């Protein structure tokens, strides 16, 4: 997943209530990892059942949305020529609709069909070398990019050009929401779920305290926790350009693309962290705001009441600015010099 983790889990735990315990499972997923922590009660599911359910959901997400495995539904769709259709599950079609709404609300800056651009610039699964493409190659690929080339017909997803989908900007957030929903259905009331950096917390830890995350500022060598916040009922996602990039002729090119231009973004916004009740939407908004940059992104966040923290490069480092929505829904619980917790 081409996402950047900018939140650290604060895992200091106090004593458990009688009969309750804190369980933790983790493993690989989607080219990265997942971690599930939850309060186990005597009436709740066993850790073995939780692991089976979690890994089944993550395997299903990978089979639907991965661009790195040739048998996924997304990879199969991407190989189809123009004027083709493919039957898709309801959740895939819903994510396409979410992508369409994000594309429309950003005037096309956010787009799920950027896969050919990622490959051309060296960031995608079919790429061979990170490089700046020539204008002729770029113009050719841009003919195959644009959400307007997609349409949903009943249970089928159709395309009128040879577009290729990339769900990496929202699939992990969707996976977290699916995991939370399933664990709650099993009777787990208090949990923190993280997959490839996207996370969501529900309820409390065994001692009654909040789950905590550290909102971090990027550094090339490490991440520095700047604000520790309590998270309850919110999904959290960070997108940034400071980990996945290359340099050529003294210029830096990140993996974050403005689909309107067919090029990596060029601005001083380094990272955006978003809090939303839907981890799917937090995931999508963090990417969208990073693409738009500080000025347009800030205006978008104010207009749509997005709870977000913007981290911008300045001459001597980074500065952060949070939206009014963030200040209203995510109160700080520690000072800004708090050490970072483990980053998964």
Q: Which residues are annotated as a binding site for Mg(2+)?
A: 169, 283, 287
CB 158 within 8 Å of CB 85: yes
**Torsion (CA) 131, 134, 139, 140 in degrees, nearest 10:** -80
Cα of first residue to Cα of last residue in the chain, in angstroms, is 14
Q: Which two tokens stand for residue 193?
A: 């779920």
According to the 3-state scheme, what is the secondary structure of 206-259? CCCCCEEEEEEECCCCCCEEEEEEEECCEEEEEEECCCCEEEECCEEEECCEEC
Give the span between the Cα atoms of 256 and 246, in whole angstroms.
12
In the numeric block, the tokens 């998964």 are attached to: 344
* Binding-site residues: 169, 283, 287
| 150-153 β-sheet, strand order | 84-87, 156-159, 150-153
């Amino acid at each position: 997943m081409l996402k950047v983790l900018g939140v650290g889990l604060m895992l200091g735990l106090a004593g458990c209530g009688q009969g309750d315990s804190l369980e933790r499972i983790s493993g690989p997923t989607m080219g990265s990892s997942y971690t599930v922590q939850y309060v186990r009660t005597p009436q709740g599911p066993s850790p073995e059942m939780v692991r089976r359910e979690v890994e089944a959901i993550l395997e299903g997400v990978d089979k639907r949305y991965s661009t790195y495995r040739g048998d996924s539904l997304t990879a199969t769709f991407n190989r189809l020529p123009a004027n083709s259709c493919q039957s898709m599950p309801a959740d895939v079609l819903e994510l396409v609709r979410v992508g369409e709404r994000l594309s429309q609300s950003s005037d096309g800056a956010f787009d799920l069909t950027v896969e050919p651009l990622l490959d051309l610039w060296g960031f995608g699964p079919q790429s061979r070398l990170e490089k700046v493409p020539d204008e002729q190659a770029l113009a050719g690929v841009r003919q195959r990019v644009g959400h307007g080339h997609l349409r949903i017909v009943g249970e089928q997803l159709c395309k009128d050009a040879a577009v290729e989908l990339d769900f990496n900007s929202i699939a992990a957030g969707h996976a977290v929401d699916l995991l939370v929903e399933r664990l709650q259905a099993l009777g787990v009331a208090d949990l923190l779920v993280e997959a490839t950096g996207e996370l969501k917390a529900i309820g409390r830890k065994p001692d009654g305290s909040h789950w905590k995350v550290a909102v971090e500022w990027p550094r090339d060598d490490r991440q520095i926790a700047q604000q520790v916040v309590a998270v309850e009922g919110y999904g959290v996602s960070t997108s940034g350009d400071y980990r996945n990039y290359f340099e050529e002729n003294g210029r830096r090119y990140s993996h974050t693309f403005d689909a309107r231009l067919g090029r990596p973004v060029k601005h001083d916004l380094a990272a955006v962290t978003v809090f939303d009740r839907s981890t799917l939407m937090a995931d999508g908004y963090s990417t969208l705001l990073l693409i738009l940059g500080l000025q347009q992104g800030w205006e978008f966040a104010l207009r749509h009441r997005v709870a977000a923290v913007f981290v911008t490069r300045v001459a001597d480092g980074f500065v952060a600015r949070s939206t009014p929505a963030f200040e209203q829904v995510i109160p700080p619980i520690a000072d800004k010099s708090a050490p970072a917790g483990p980053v998964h």
